[in-house]
Amino acid sequence: RTQQALIRESWRRVSCSPVQNGVVLFSRLFDLDPDLLPLFQYNCKRFASPQECLAAPEFLDHIRKVMLVIDAAVSHLEDLSCLEEYLCNLGKKHQAVGVKVESFSTVGESLLYMLEKCLGAAFSPDVKEAWIKLYSAVVKAMQGGWEV
Ligand code: HEM
């Protein structure tokens, strides 16, 4: 099967429970880099712990937003360039809230972790490779929004 088919099939399973899987992704992210937690503030209020953050409705909305962006990328595998402008803008917004480009590699690791947890044995080396490729393309487009 093609890389595109592998992505679509695996994403179908992940997107059945987007919030649940998104929580797995972000729990891993906060384990790997606890300094990302204070970047999430709603009404200027910092979360006291990852647990508190992962239970907040506004944060769960951010998880839904992340999953929707990945969903859009999966739907436009043949032509990611039509998302370029949107992703570039999204990169700008993340720079504005204090995200560093380097953090997107930790997000990538957490994405692969979540995929492995969700897909189990179906997370083959080919599936992994296909996701690394897609995620790199998304990050590359978001990096276009970074001003140095
Ligand atoms: C918005 C932080 C990764 C997609 C935001 C906001 C914050 C934030 C603070 C504004 C508040 C909110 O909307 O909840 C972060 C951090 C990340 C991260 C710290 C990891 C280091 C991602 C990723 C994606 C994403 C990987 C998708 C690929 C979005 C979207 C919005 C958003 C779609 C809404 C933008 C808008 O209002 O137009 N993010 N984010 N985020 N984030 Fe993230």
Q: From CA 99, how far away is CA 36, in angstroms rounded?
A: 8
* The residue to which tokens 């929004």 are assigned: 145
Is the ipTM here above 0.90?
yes
In angstroms, the Cα distances linking 59 to 37, 53, 62, 103, 115 are 11, 6, 5, 18, 20
Question: Dihedrals φ, ψ of 145, to 5°?
Answer: -90, -5
Closest ligand 1 atom to Cα of 138: 28
Residues contacting 31, CB < 8 A, separation 6+: 50
Ligand 1 center from residue 97 Cα (angstroms): 9
Ligand 1 center from residue 66 Cα (angstroms): 7
* The residue to which tokens 């992703």 are assigned: 87
pLDDT per residue over 54-87, tens digit each? 999 999 999 999 999 999 999 999 999 999 999 9
Q: What pLDDT is recorded for position 75?
A: 97
* pLDDT beyond 80 at 148: no
